[in-house]
Amino acid sequence: MGKLKTKSAVDNVLNRAKRSKTAPPNPFARVTCAPKRHVVLGRRIKGAKRDVTEAKTRAILQRQQSLLTEFKRHELNQYNRFVDNRFGQNNPNLTAEEKNQLRFEKQRAAVTKSKSKVNFNLDDDSEMEDAELTHFGASLSSVLQDEQQEAVDKARDEQEQFELDRKLMEEEAARGEGRTRREILQEVIAKSRAYKAEAAVAKEEDELLLANLDQEWAEMRAQMDYTKGAQDGGDGDDNNEDDFEKIARALSTQAPQAASDRQLTEEEAALKAKERLEELEKERLSRMQGVPRGASSRSIESERLEDTNCEIDPEFVLSETSDDEEDSVEEVPMDDDDGDTVAPSDAAAVCASGELPFVIPVPETLQEFIGLLGTDDVPTKLGVAIERIRACSHVALHPDNSIKLQKFLRILFLYFRRIWADKTNGETVVQSDILVKAISTMSNQFPRWACELILKKLLPTITSCINQRTDLPVPILVELQLVIQIFSVSDFAHSCMTPLLLVLCHFLSSLKRQDRVMHNGLRSAFLCEVLLQYVSQSKRFVAELLSHLHLGLRLSRPESMSGPVTINDLFDSEMSVVPRPLYASLVRRASDLYVDLPSFPELFAPFVEFLETAEDACSAQLLDDLRQRITEAVGKRRPLSVAKPPPMIRQRDPVFQDDFIPGVDRDPDPERRERRALLKKMRSEKKGARRELRRDAQFVEAERRNVNQRKAEAAKAKQREIRAFLEKQQADTNALRLSKRRK
C-alpha cells in the first residue's frame, strides 16, 4: 500500500507541473489560422506556419506527375525510335500479299490524282452548289470577261484605224491626188528613215564637238599649270593668297622623293661621328709624318673648312639621359683606350702650331682647355673644340662619358666667367655666344649638375657682397643673364631660379638706404633688368624690385642718354648715377607686369608723387602713362560686400516617422498607388515564374542525367555479361585443347 501511495503522489506532482506550464486558453484571442473557403495559390496567411520541407516535397511530387510524364513521353518514346507507319503494317488480319496489293493500289491512286490537271466535281450535293470552276487559280468567269474585253478593245482599235484610213483617202481625193494606201505607207517609211539618218548625223556632230572641247580643255589646263607660273616669277596675285593656298600650290608642284636610308639611332650617329673624327685624325697624323695620302682620302683642308662653323652640329647634340646619369656627379678616372686620342698636353702643343686635332679628350683643368685653344683665332677654335670633345665623349659610347662631360661643363662655366672678368671686345662676344649654346645644351642634358654648379658659385659670391657692402662683379651679372637662357622662368617654384631670386631680393633689400646704393648705378639697373626677366612669365611680385626702382629713379640724372649702353660700361666705376630714361623704361616694364594686381594704384603712387615734381620730358611721359593706368585700375575696383552664407549641405539622415508601417503606401493619389502596387505584384510574379522555370529545368536535367546513368549502367552490365560468356567459352576451349594435347 505504501508503494501505491508513493506512485500516485509523484503523478500528482507531475500533473500539477504540466498544468502550471500550459497557459489557460484565451476565449477572446483571434484565430488567425481559420480554414479558408477559397484557396488562392501563393497567398500567405498571417499566423500560418510554412513548412519548407513539406513544400519542397510537394513541389517534387507535382513535377513528377507532370514534367516527368511529359519527359518520358517525348524524350524516351519518340526520340531515336523507328516507327513503321506503312499502310496495313499494324493490321494483324492482313497477309503479306494483301498488304502489298493495298499499298500498290494506294500508290497508283495518288499518282493518278497528281497527274490530273482539271478535276471536275460533278456531285449534285447541296454543299457543292456554290462551287466555282477555276483556271490556273483564277475564276473562269473573270477569265472569260477579260477575253471578251480584249476582243472589244481590238475591234474598237480596228474601227478607229479604218476611220483614219478613210479620212486620209478622202483628203487625198479632195486634193486631186489619187495615191493609194501603199504609196502613203511608203512615204511614211521614207520619212522615218530620213529622220533616223538626221539623228545619226547629229550624233556624229555632237561627238566631234565633244572631242574638240576635250582637246581645248587640255590646252587650257596646261596653261593653268602652277609650275609655269612659278618659273615665270609668279603674278602679283600671289600676295592675296592665304597660307592654305600657298601650301596646296607647294604640294602640287612638289616632286616625289626617293626613298632614303634608315634613320640612325643615337648610338649609331655618335659612333659614326667618332669614327669620322678618328679617320680625319689618322690622315692628319700621317700628313704630319710625311706619309703620302691616297687618291681616295679626303682633303684635310676641306674638313677644316667644314669644322670652322662655330655652331654645335645637330648630329652631336646629346639627348637627355636617365635620372641615374643626371644624378651621377662622382668623379672617376678618365682612361683613354683609343690609340688615336691626343693627350691634352699634346693637343696644346698641336694648337701652338696653329692646328687643332680632330680627336680631343675631355680636359682635366681649365688651364689645359685654355692651352688647347691657344692664342690665335680663339673664337673659331672654341666652337670646333667643344664640338669635337662632345663627339668623342658621347654618352651613348661609354657609361663613364657622362661624368667626363659633367667635368667639361664645369670647365665651360669657369671659362665663361674668365672671359667676362675684364673689359670685352668683339672676340669676347663671339666666344660668349658659342659658350651659351654649348652650356645650354649640356645643362639640359645634366640639369641637376648644372643647377649645383650655378648655386655653388653664385650664392656664396652674392652673400659675400652683401656682407662686405660691395658691388656685384660683372661676371656674376652676366652669369645671372646666362641662367635665364638655361632654365625656364615660367615656373613659380624652381630648384635653381627660386634660391637665386631670394638671394637677389636680399641683396636689393640691403640697398634701401642711400648710403648702401651700389657705386656703379648701371650695375644696379642691370640687376633690375635681370629680375624683371626672372619674373616676366610667372609674374611673381617682388617688393624689393619696386623699392629699388623708386630709389634709383630718384637718384637718376634727368639728362637724356648720349648713346646706347654697352657691356663695357659695367666696368666703369665712374657710372655712379644713371640717366633717368634708363630707369623710366624699367619702371614702365614693371607697370606692364603688375598692372593686373588689385594694389597697383598703391604700389605706383610713390612713383607718381616723385614724377610730379620732375620737369624733364621723359618723366612727364611716364607720369601720363602711370596716371592713366592707375585711373583704369581704380575704375575696375568693386566695393566690398557682405559675403553670402554658403548654402546648407544637404544631409543624408533618414526621416523618422512615428506612425510608420512597413508595406503601406502613403501616396495620396489612388491611381498612382494602385499602379505602383500592380508593378510590384508584376515584378514579384515575374520573379516567381523565373524561379519555377529554373527549378523545372533543373528537375528535367536531373531526370535526363538519371536516365543516361541507368543506360550506362545497363550497358556496363551487358558488357560484363558478354565478357564473362566469352571468358567462359575461351576457358572451355583452352581446357579442350589441353586435354587433346595430353592424349
What angle is formed at CA 496 by the lines to CA 492 and CA 501, rounded to 5 degrees? 65
C-alpha–C-alpha distance, residues 269 and 281, integer Å: 18
Encode pLDDT of 632-646 as tens digits. Answer: 988 888 888 888 888
Percent of the chain exceeding pLDDT 90 equals 10
Calculate mean pLDDT across residues 48-70.
Answer: 86
**What pLDDT, on the 0 to 100 scale, is given for residue 315?**
36
Encode pLDDT of 255-270 as tens digits. Answer: 677 767 778 887 778 7
Calculate mean pLDDT across residues 123-152.
Answer: 60
Say whether pLDDT at 513 is over 60.
Answer: no
What's the chain's length in residues?
Answer: 743
**What pLDDT, on the 0 to 100 scale, is given for residue 25?**
65
Residue of 697, 706, 696 lying closest to 59 (CA atoms): 696
Give me the sign of the Cα torsion angle 219, 225, 228, 234: positive
| Mean pLDDT over each residue of the chain, to the nearest integer | 75
Calculate mean pLDDT across residues 455-480.
Answer: 85
Calculate mean pLDDT across residues 612-626.
Answer: 84
E strand or H helix that includes residue 325: helix 323-327
Encode pLDDT of 527-573 as tens digits. Answer: 888 888 888 888 888 888 888 888 888 888 777 665 566 666 666 65
Q: What are phi and psi of 579, to 5 degrees?
A: -60, 145
- Provide the CA 272 distance to its chain's centre, in angstroms: 37
Encode pLDDT of 663-692 as tens digits. Answer: 788 888 999 999 999 999 999 999 999 999
Q: Where are the domains of the chain?
A: 268-285+303-445, 463-637
E strands present in 267-358: none
Between 117-126, 260-269, 277-286, the lowest mean confidence (pLDDT) is in 117-126
Encode pLDDT of 80-91 as tens digits. Answer: 566 677 777 778
**What pLDDT, on the 0 to 100 scale, is given for residue 82?**
66
Q: Which SS3 state, helix, strand or coil, does residue 721 take?
A: helix
Beta pairing partners, 134: 139
**What pLDDT, on the 0 to 100 scale, is given for residue 691?**
93
Could you tell me the CA-to-CA distances from 582 to 103, 482, 512, 530 in Å, in that order?
Answer: 128, 22, 19, 14
**What pLDDT, on the 0 to 100 scale, is given for residue 125?**
47
Backbone φ/ψ region at 465: left (φ over 0), alpha (ψ -120 to 50), beta: alpha
Say whether pLDDT at 316 is over 70.
Answer: no
Calculate mean pLDDT across residues 383-404.
Answer: 83
Say whether pLDDT at 313 is over 60.
Answer: no
**What pLDDT, on the 0 to 100 scale, is given for residue 100?**
86
**What pLDDT, on the 0 to 100 scale, is given for residue 737?**
92
Give me the sign of the Cα torsion angle 259, 264, 270, 272: negative
C-alpha–C-alpha distance, residues 733 and 743, integer Å: 16
Say whether pLDDT at 716 is over 90.
Answer: yes
Calculate mean pLDDT across residues 396-409.
Answer: 84
Q: What are phi and psi of 135, to 5 degrees?
A: -140, 110
In b/e form, how buried is each residue of 638-676, taking b as 16+ CB within 10 angstroms?
A: eeeeeeeeeeeeeeeeeeeeeeeeeeeeeeeeeeeeeee
Calculate mean pLDDT across residues 721-729.
Answer: 95
Q: Which residues contact 423 (CB under 8 A, 6 or more apart)?
A: 568, 571
Supply the pTM of this predicted model.
0.46
C-alpha–C-alpha distance, residues 320 and 316, integer Å: 13
Say whether pLDDT at 705 is over 90.
Answer: yes
Between 214-228, 240-254, 260-274, 296-310, the lowest mean confidence (pLDDT) is in 296-310
